[in-house]
Structure 1
Amino acid sequence: MGDVAARRLDLAGTRSFAAAGAGPERRRRLAEFNAAWLGEVWADATESLRQPPASGIALAAVGSVGRGEAGPLSDYDLVLLHDTRALTNDDITTLADRFWYPLWDAGVRLDHSVRSVSQCRTVAADDLTAAVGLLDIAPVAGDAEVVAAARATVSHDWRAQARRRLPQLVEAVAARHHRHGELAQSLEPDLKEAHGGLRDLTILRALTEAWLAERPRGEADAAYALLLDVRDAVHVVTGRGRDRLGREDHDAVAALLGHDDPDDLLAAVSDAGRTIAYALDGTLRRAGQSQRARVLRVGPRRPQMVPLGYGLFESDGEVVLGSGSLVETDPQLPLRSAVVAARAGLPISPTTLDNLATKSPDLPTPWPATARDLFSDLLAAGPGLVPVWEGLDQHGLVDRWLPEWAAVRSRPQRNAVHRHTVDRHLIETVVHASGLVRTVGRADLLLLAALLHDIGKVRGAHDHSVAGAPLAEDVMRRLGHADADVAVVTGLVREHLTLIELATRRDHADPATVDAALAAVDGDRDRFELLLALTEADAVAAGPKAWTDWRAALLRQLATAVRARLDRTGGEPSTPGERTAYETELAATTASGDAQIPDEIVRALAAGDPHVEVVANGGSWRVDIADRDRLGLFADTAGLLAAEGLVVRTAVLRTLDGAAVNEWHVESPSGSAPEPERIRRGLARLATGDRGPLGLLERRRQFARRRAGESGLGLPGQPRALVVPGASTDATVIEVRAEDRPGLLHDLGIALAKSGVSVRSAHIATYAGQTLDTFYVTDRAGRLLDPGKVAQVVAVVIDTCDAG
């Protein structure tokens, strides 16, 4: 690091982050340093010329340096600006070399150009990004009038060409947002380029400069200052001029900015990003309105008002209040406005939201029935709910209706499955649930449960489902719902993870699994269908990692088993050894769906030739394998599939007439389908003791170990193995949590086989590099393991996980 960079970091030392309002003062000092140092270099460069110019040439800055907002390690974006009459081309070249080289020698990051005023005008006309940047051009040294002339010329052209360039600007902004994502919804946000980032406020300034719209101030400026502070802190803690807040920097940046918890930092950054994004989106709409007004204006232009009902109108793509609306006397008008806007797929005008937030009276507690109905209509509006809810939230109306919302607003989720903050995830869940309302008897309760299912994800909550249930109850009572409905929604919130956990971690053919699913809904069919729909909506809203084809298939399979029990017993718990017809079929069926093994497969098995069939299942595959039953077959199959690069999700193992008839559900990260002939040949070789087919697995293991060593990352914690009591009446259920690695399932299979344990089924899940595997095991005679054997198996499993 050069002396200049070190000096800038020293000016932005850790103490400069401690005091309130320290950010603007820190950036002022940095701006003064930048101006002084660049001025010195400029003076040295110009004095060395034979005839130093008195006027007509200057050093100018654009970007953060030009705005006086540069961070400790921001790039220098400089322009050597000249009037072509001031110096010859040779003199300009000489001056540029004498100025740029000392900057490079000082080790600073430099973006530089040499331009005349007319060239600035040409570049701005041809390059949209350059035009926006040159609007902020500021003098650093030399003739300030040249810089003023360039800025005035570019600004004049920008205003004159605003109508033509606005569509280009909108398209460029959308493309940038698509590349860099939404700042508010990222755990590693790009503070500059993402939607809601620092560059978006530069766009706001450009729109204002074009006289197309007024720039929102107040909250937008405060949000911008916060992001600048975070950017400065990133520079200090990393020693690099980064704009991305990486996961590895969360703790240090949070501490530097005075946050006790890095999640509080991320919530503040998310809030700031949402504020800026909301301001930009609204300003772009108003700029478009202004542009259309210029195009259409022949005489005085009257706004086109399309009535939407309830005193609300569509005007220029926004919902606005009519002049006769009773804002000050109708407490339900905000709800009516939201319903109308969401159904129409339109945002509510910020001015209208301000009026609704500041002038409309509060709803009484409990809410009247008409207000409850309006709220249900709002939740049922579909995708139009998302932007409308954001506007309501930005203007404080959501807090008035749901005070509990403040605790989950912008709350980050450090989970590889989730793609949104808690509050946005809740709204996305409602949107997806609105497409499932015809599958349930009470659509309103489904939507309310979707809105509230993660309301307990607050700081300090050990189990957010349990913590959320009383909060959901408070909300339901405030809204005025009947006791029975309160109990249903509260129960759905408490149990919203139960079905997906049973579907992915338990054996659906085991009556105890169905018992657990029914216990979560008190044996009630209507509540089960509500919980099933909520489970699907929650997973879909979480993202593609939470709602894969195999997880959807497992949930459908569990639902079929539960419905079969409900049809037969009305939801009563099973008695020991009792199965429904579906459970019996599921437990005894072969992979192909027949109760008996076909004769040709029997003959092949007798000759020592395994049978393998691959069935496509959306984005995953089912691999049906029939082979002679033998010790270690489970481990060999798991190892072979891992060697082929396949990820096992579920294995269901059955024995019929001395033959193993097993069903494996796998995914292929490469996208290539499993090759049944390769798997068949590999199993045949393994049965003879030839371990050659597992050679590729060992190479995968070595590669994984090398990568782990190069990363320098330690294990996230010790592996755990525990018995799940009551999960099955005829098998011992062991749950294993450990760091995932190639061949782990193979290693566990070998360990269980050596322990004298049979695996009846295995249910595999992996999140963020951590595996959560559930094994249904018995002794060789098919009985539950005794306590001593359980302790031995648990110890062996832990040792096997540690051995990797």
Structure 2
Amino acid sequence: MTLFGERRAALIRTAAAAELPAALSELTDAWLAERFDTEAAECGLAGAPEGSANGAGTGVSLVAVGGYGRSELCPGSDIDLLLLHDGRESLLEGGGALGDGSHGGNLADRLWYPIWDEKLKLGHAVRSLTGTLDLAASDIDTATALVDARHLAGDEALTARLIEGVEADWRDNASGRLDELQRAVSRRHNQSGEVAFLLEPDLKTGRGGLRDAHAIRWARLAGAELPDADTERLAEAYQTLLRARVELHRTTGLRSDVLSADDQDAVAQRLGAIDADAFMAEIAQAGRIIAFLSDQLWSSVARQQAEFAAPEVDIAGLSVRDGELVIDGDPAADVVLVLHAAVQSARAGIPISRASLDKLAERQAPFPDPWPHGARALFVELLSCGHKAIGVIETLDYFDVWTRVLPEWAPNRNRPQRSRYHRFTVDRHLLEAVSEAARFTHRVARPDLLVMGALLHDIGKGYPGDHTQAGMRLAGPIARRCGWSSEDADTLVRLVQHHLLLTDVATRRDLDDPLTVATVARAAQTPEFLELLAVMTEADCLATGPMAWGEWTSNLVTALVEMTTEHMSGADQAPPGHRRLLTQKVVELMAAGEVALRAEDDVLTVVAPDERGLFSRAAGVLALRGLDVLQADAYSSPAGMAVSSFRIVPPDTPVDWDRVTFDVRRSLRGHLALEARIAERARVYRRRRALSATRAATSVTFDAESATGATIVEVRTEDHIGVLYKVTRVLAEMGLDIRSAKIQTLANEVVDSFYVVGPDGPVIDEAHQREVELALRHALA
């Protein structure tokens, strides 16, 4: 390792996060300046003295641009360099040939190759002054990189001419630059999501990230205005994200700017945070500040560049001026004025003015108990605005006004969630759920309870203990304070209580078991409540993320709701003991008494003489072929035949069902070394996933009360190749027959439920349960 490499490595190991970017930039500056002087002399460029009659100096300079130009090198940052010349390209030419081990050749080669030898990521260009200015005039990315240009070595006057030219062009074309910047900001936000509300934010390019702060700076150079009072808040928020980026690079040794859940604990510890949740709350708050100030700036730019047709606002105390909603009244005297303003802002899509927001922050009084007349209707109207309401509510929350309407909100602000299911922090998840619910209000008789239930369903997450129990304690008083009747308040409490019921039951219980439907019907009590719960469940899952609501979950929940509705009406269509698995074709195959395999779309059906381990062997083949099981079902007939059905997760490429069925037949005959082959595949798979730091604990539970004629064995464990095979093999070895199964994978965790019958009947005694659990834990260790 070179001396520079040793010093760089030592600096990265020891420097504080706040000091490292500048210190790393300074170290790199000195190294590159020394190399430039040495290599320029070798190329014969040292003879033209700076300050000569024409001011040309050597005619060549080395310039830092982009993040390096800002002296903000993080451990994984690119070294962005421009080798600038005055138009005489022959100045850069030197003797020697590349590949001789000495990096001979022109000056550029002599400079770039040592950087690559240090294993650093280099962004480089060689351009004339005229060519660089022409490119900057036509390309916004080049222009923004050069706005941050800084002289490193060589002809300082030449670099100064570059910086002056870029700044002059930036000022002279301010309007066009602002348009290009705003379009770039919008594209980036659509691609990278939000720093404040995503659980795994992109610290650099996300909305509210470092790049937004850069864009604010560039826009201000083009004449856009940001109040001086906001400059300090912007700088503090920026430093919070920059320190996190430094530690993320240092922790992972990678260049990624996405703060993944796996890395948050380590980064938080390095930065001295209490824990990862506290650290992520700081990140969220910093992202909020930058995003808000960015929105304010670009909204101001838009108003300056466009003429607004001011909509009429027929509400005392409100008016529209210069494209903004202005609160003329006194929010201390009229406590409900803030809801009038919020509804108007969301409905018309016009922002509340900064002066009005400052007025609300200073003078808005807390809402009384009970709320004034008309406040609840306005609150519901705001929630019913859907996605348009999110920005308005979050702006009020930024100014600590939303919590004067709903004080129970405060503990959920910026609160992360330790769930691979979720995309958003708790506060944004609740607003996203409301937004989704607002799309479905036509499907329920009580839209007001739907949107309010969506707002409250997870509000207990900011409080100690089980979030559902905490939410139930909060929901009733909130509802009554808002002005709902005691009966409606009880409905909202029950919506919070059962907000996970339908997905939990649909994905983890046997829908063909009459007790399953009866349990849901008992909890719902009425068709009207079931209707509300079903729509709120869909809204909640859609707001959670793509893992929470796909075709499989949607179909299961829909089927459960339909069956429960029929049960409540007394019109159950399926007779007791009916199983949808037993289609006419399956019954015919079982009657034939031979092995038969059918593969249709994403379902494999195996019919064979009943014997212990049949289910696990078929599951093992699917694992061996890299197919993930989504749902499984099984049935054994009194005549000694068994059927197992597996619905797989559709893979990216078509399934070779001929190969799969061939291997299943081999496994049924005992001609396939399943355990050994799966173990080998698992070793390869583990190597590919070695960077994942998150592990899921194994748990085993038994439930003999929620099933008809069976005991439910629920296994939670870390996902890996062959986990279903291992579990079902153990169940078979322990004398348990699988009647049906529900297989669910949540990121790196599986939650598998098996309806089993033991050798002595449906109830598994405690001693047998302990042995089964011991065997499962051993197999999954």
TM tier, smaller: 0.7 to 0.9
Whether 1:556 and 2:549 are equivalent positions in the alignment is no
The equivalent of 1:307 in structure 2 is: 312
Preserved contact between residue 595 and residue 606 of structure 2 (Cα < 8 Å)? no
The equivalent of 2:755 in structure 1 is: 776
Aligned counterpart in structure 1 of residue 458 of structure 2, from 450, 454, 458: 454
Q: Distance in 1 between matches of 2:663 and 2:34?
A: 74
The equivalent of 2:628 in structure 1 is: 647
1:612-691 equivalences under 5 Å are: 612=598, 614=600, 621-623=602-604, 626-656=607-637, 658=639, 659-670=641-652, 672=654, 675=657, 689-691=669-671
Q: Distance in 2 between matches of 1:222 and 1:382?
A: 32
Q: Distance in 2 between matches of 1:275 and 1:415?
A: 25
Aligned counterpart in structure 2 of residue 706 of structure 1, from 684, 695, 711: 684
Q: Which moved more, 1:766-775 or 1:472-481?
A: 472-481
Deviation per residue, 1:25-69 (Å, 9 max, x gap): 665555655555555555556677234333435543322333343
Preserved contact between residue 517 and residue 564 of structure 2 (Cα < 8 Å)? yes
Whether 1:272 and 2:252 are equivalent positions in the alignment is no
Deviation of the 1:421 alpha carbon = 1.6
> SS of the residue aligned with 2:312?
strand
Preserved contact between residue 186 and residue 419 of structure 1 (Cα < 8 Å)? yes
> SS of the residue aligned with 1:763?
strand
User: Cα 1:408–1:81, aligned 2, differ >3 Å: closer, same or farther?
Assistant: same
> SS of the residue aligned with 1:716?
coil
Q: Distance in 2 between matches of 1:42 and 1:680?
A: 67
Deviation of the 1:376 alpha carbon = 0.9
Q: TM-score, normalised by structure 1?
A: 0.84
Q: Distance in 2 between matches of 1:222 and 1:278?
A: 14
Q: Distance in 1 between matches of 2:652 and 2:117?
A: 47
Deviation per residue, 1:192-240 (Å, 9 max, x gap): 2233221222211222222245475343222112112222333444566
Q: Which amino acid aligns with 1:704?
A: A
The equivalent of 2:145 in structure 1 is: 133
> SS of the residue aligned with 1:217?
helix
Deviation of the 1:10 alpha carbon = 5.2
Preserved contact between residue 304 and residue 315 of structure 1 (Cα < 8 Å)? no
The equivalent of 1:281 in structure 2 is: 295
Deviation of the 1:180 alpha carbon = 3.6
The equivalent of 1:401 in structure 2 is: 405
Q: Distance in 2 between matches of 1:640 and 1:38?
A: 58
1:111-510 equivalences under 5 Å are: 111-141=123-153, 144-214=156-226, 217-238=231-252, 243-292=257-306, 304-310=309-315, 319-321=324-326, 325=329, 329-458=333-462, 461-510=464-513
Q: Distance in 1 between matches of 2:479 and 2:428?
A: 20
User: Cα 1:504–1:287, aligned 2, differ >3 Å: closer, same or farther?
Assistant: same
Q: Distance in 2 between matches of 1:711 and 1:613?
A: 30
User: Cα 1:735–1:319, aligned 2, differ >3 Å: closer, same or farther?
Assistant: same
Q: Which amino acid aligns with 1:535?
A: T
Q: TM-score, normalised by structure 2?
A: 0.86
> SS of the residue aligned with 1:123?
helix
Q: Distance in 1 between matches of 2:775 and 2:115?
A: 63
1:77-116 equivalences under 5 Å are: 77-83=80-86, 109-116=121-128
> SS of the residue aligned with 1:456?
helix
Deviation per residue, 1:240-276 (Å, 9 max, x gap): 6664435454233212222010122122112222322
Deviation of the 1:737 alpha carbon = 1.8
Whether 1:588 and 2:585 are equivalent positions in the alignment is no
Q: Distance in 2 between matches of 1:474 and 1:109?
A: 58
The equivalent of 2:733 in structure 1 is: 754
User: Cα 1:2–1:484, aligned 2, differ >3 Å: closer, same or farther?
Assistant: farther
User: Cα 1:502–1:199, aligned 2, differ >3 Å: closer, same or farther?
Assistant: same
Unaligned segments of structure 1, at least 5 residues: 18-22, 294-302, 569-579
Preserved contact between residue 433 and residue 455 of structure 2 (Cα < 8 Å)? yes
User: Cα 1:440–1:117, aligned 2, differ >3 Å: closer, same or farther?
Assistant: same
User: Cα 1:241–1:727, aligned 2, differ >3 Å: closer, same or farther?
Assistant: closer
Preserved contact between residue 50 and residue 56 of structure 2 (Cα < 8 Å)? yes
> SS of the residue aligned with 2:335?
coil
Q: Distance in 2 between matches of 1:222 and 1:741?
A: 43
Count matched residues.
758
Q: Which moved more, 1:276-285 or 1:66-75?
A: 66-75
Deviation of the 1:502 alpha carbon = 1.5
Q: Which amino acid aligns with 2:221?
A: E
Deviation of the 1:130 alpha carbon = 0.8
User: Cα 1:644–1:711, aligned 2, differ >3 Å: closer, same or farther?
Assistant: closer
Q: Which amino acid aligns with 1:529?
A: E
Q: Distance in 1 between matches of 2:609 and 2:333?
A: 79
Preserved contact between residue 245 and residue 257 of structure 2 (Cα < 8 Å)? yes
Q: Distance in 2 between matches of 1:7 and 1:478?
A: 63
Q: Which amino acid aligns with 1:260?
A: I
Preserved contact between residue 347 and residue 387 of structure 1 (Cα < 8 Å)? no
The equivalent of 1:742 in structure 2 is: 721
Deviation per residue, 1:571-609 (Å, 9 max, x gap): xxxxxxxxx844635x32453656x976x5466x24x25
Q: Distance in 2 between matches of 1:752 and 1:331?
A: 63
Deviation of the 1:131 alpha carbon = 0.6
Preserved contact between residue 704 and residue 710 of structure 2 (Cα < 8 Å)? no
Q: Distance in 1 between matches of 2:538 and 2:296?
A: 33
Q: Distance in 2 between matches of 1:47 and 1:499?
A: 76
Deviation of the 1:362 alpha carbon = 3.5
User: Cα 1:96–1:137, aligned 2, differ >3 Å: closer, same or farther?
Assistant: same
The equivalent of 1:56 in structure 2 is: 56
User: Cα 1:351–1:665, aligned 2, differ >3 Å: closer, same or farther?
Assistant: farther
Q: Distance in 2 between matches of 1:774 and 1:738?
A: 12
The equivalent of 1:722 in structure 2 is: 701
Q: Which amino acid aligns with 1:170?
A: Q
Question: Identity, % of aligned pairs?
Answer: 35
Deviation of the 1:347 alpha carbon = 4.3
Preserved contact between residue 613 and residue 728 of structure 2 (Cα < 8 Å)? yes
Whether 1:514 and 2:525 are equivalent positions in the alignment is no
User: Cα 1:252–1:602, aligned 2, differ >3 Å: closer, same or farther?
Assistant: closer
User: Cα 1:149–1:403, aligned 2, differ >3 Å: closer, same or farther?
Assistant: farther
> SS of the residue aligned with 2:598?
strand
Q: Which amino acid aligns with 2:136?
A: A
Q: Which moved more, 1:529-538 or 1:701-710?
A: 701-710
Preserved contact between residue 147 and residue 167 of structure 2 (Cα < 8 Å)? yes
Preserved contact between residue 4 and residue 107 of structure 1 (Cα < 8 Å)? no
